[in-house]
Chain A
């Protein structure tokens, strides 16, 4: 099974552990991830803040390249890249004139045949159906699933999960034997791109969510976005400064959690790259593992 793969800057740069864990998990489930040839930067926040055409051309080129390479389904682990690519896909599908403009700019035609999966959708489709048989060590921990700002918004374009109290990542954790806690900061901002310019604000925003996670007894925070990971992990000292207390809970990518559950080693999921050392306490295995159910008050599907 071959799928296209768009790493983006982060998976090749500051978040190698996300790439490593994703590849290793995919391999165990018979999925070969093929990097889109000659891919370019997706533009991220910078492009769509400056120039609309640029913000559509950069992802447009990526999609055109994927299509040309015959990769009709691509996995985009980084939430920001996923957002840009999906929004671009949507806008080009809606507006033929725009599609022609962008085609001229990038010098390639894009027919709109590429399907974009975020990491959760990828896990849902290719991993979860067979995960129970492959789990060798239940990920028996209380964890806070952090979705960040981009994974589930804007709902009417992404049509993925729900904006308030999303459940899909929690679902993955449950399937690997984990215990996702109900907490209040699932989609609150971590500080995003202020990581460099205003690290103190990252300390405050990420600190607020860290306080809630700690108070509710989280052993780790699960993420699906390299930006979130970086703010919660690399900027831990700023967070601790804001909270005025030391915190040691690690930040783990969802793919790393899955990897651990199916028996990958710490090195194979890339824990060595983390700033905050990953130390998870082993819980005594009990027969009746209580998984707290969160009361759902709206359907998960799109209306």
Chain B
């Protein structure tokens, strides 16, 4: 049986983590191919509903990563992201969503090796957790009931 390959979406900030991932590439460090990156100017931009959208569309795991505290290019967007995460995490945990599938990190533009490490660790964790069917099924069933005129 083919090994389960998790699908992981990474929401990263342009100034630190995206640059860090670029550095991983420049350094030719190899890591798992399961993670695909979406670029934002700042983690402060990340509306956490996006994370749920990702799960609803079949993501098995999520990485959110930005600049280290105090290093944010926009001074404190990452602090806001962190605050949001603290509350959001409790809320979705209460709702029954598996928060072990979401990995919140700080990776700076100089940490190419660390990005690879974050990716590999998250892929292995999610691989062990298996495919994430629950949320997708609930979300899709709601879509089915929706009025189709909103296409």
A touches B (Cβ under 8 A): no
**Which A residues lie at the B interface, using CB under 8 A?**
none
